[in-house]
Amino acid sequence: NPSPESWKQGLQVVDAMADLDPQEQLDLLRLMMATDTLSERREFVTYIEAADVRVMANEVQRVLAKGLQQGIFSADDEYYSEVKRLADQRAPIDAREAPSLVEDARSAAQGNAAQSAGDVQLSLQDYAQAEAMYQLALEKGVTDRDRNLTRLGMVQAMQGKAAEAKATLEQVSGARVPVARMWMAYADSRA
């Protein structure tokens, strides 16, 4: 039953029950954003901190805007103001540097550069380019294969590629499995 309330409850249970590291929790919070179920200040702040304004400023801007829209933050909120200032400074730089990261990833011997480029593309909501980078990271070999597979499945799901997303996410192992399963449910709900 993919209602907002069922998504919210399911995602909050996974968040509470699973011992997720910050990057795993980030991917769960991204699903909360996609399902429009972020509702508590703690969730917004955790999302912002895990995304890191210095790395994914464009994504942080969207989270801040959503929090402001929902009344989680106010324009005179000290935390909001400081993070927004940093995000507004960094976002155009991230967008400008993204093509060179993709170029560097294509010529790199290892896949970690491609995974990083994929993360930036994900932050910019260029899901097709992110998918290409995560695929390249797998081909070249990447240090954190499960994180890469999770994010590959996520961007496939965001593009409406349910079958591909499920096939990718089924390969995830370890601590990321609960997050991958929730993204598989999301892919199913969009199919």
For the chain, the DSSP string reads ---HHHHHHHHHHHHHHS---HHHHHHHHHHHHHTT---SHHHHHHHHHHH-TTT-HHHHHHHHHHHHHTTSS-TT-HHHHHHHHHHHHHHHHHHHHHHHHHHHHHH-SSSHHHHHHHHHHHHTT-HHHHHHHHHHHHHH--S-HHHHHHHHHHHHHHTT-HHHHHHHHTT--GGGHHHHHHHHHHHHHH-
pLDDT of residue 190: 84
pTM above 0.85, yes or no: yes
Residue 44 is predicted with a pLDDT of: 97
pLDDT for res 1: 64
Are 38 and 7 in contact by the 8 Å Cβ rule? The answer is no
Residue 173, classified by CB atoms within 10 Å of its CB into exposed (0-12), middle (13-18) or buried (19+), is exposed
How far apart, in whole angstroms, are the C-alpha atoms of residue 53 and residue 22? 14
- Taking the alpha carbons of 21, 78, 66, 100 in that order, is the dihedral positive or negative? negative
Tens place of pLDDT for every residue, the chain, 191 residues? 678 888 988 888 888 888 899 999 999 999 999 999 999 999 999 999 999 999 899 999 999 999 999 999 999 999 999 999 999 999 999 999 999 999 999 999 999 999 999 999 999 999 999 999 999 999 999 999 999 999 999 999 999 999 999 999 999 999 999 999 999 999 999 87
Output the furthest CA–CA distance in the chain (Å, rounded): 47
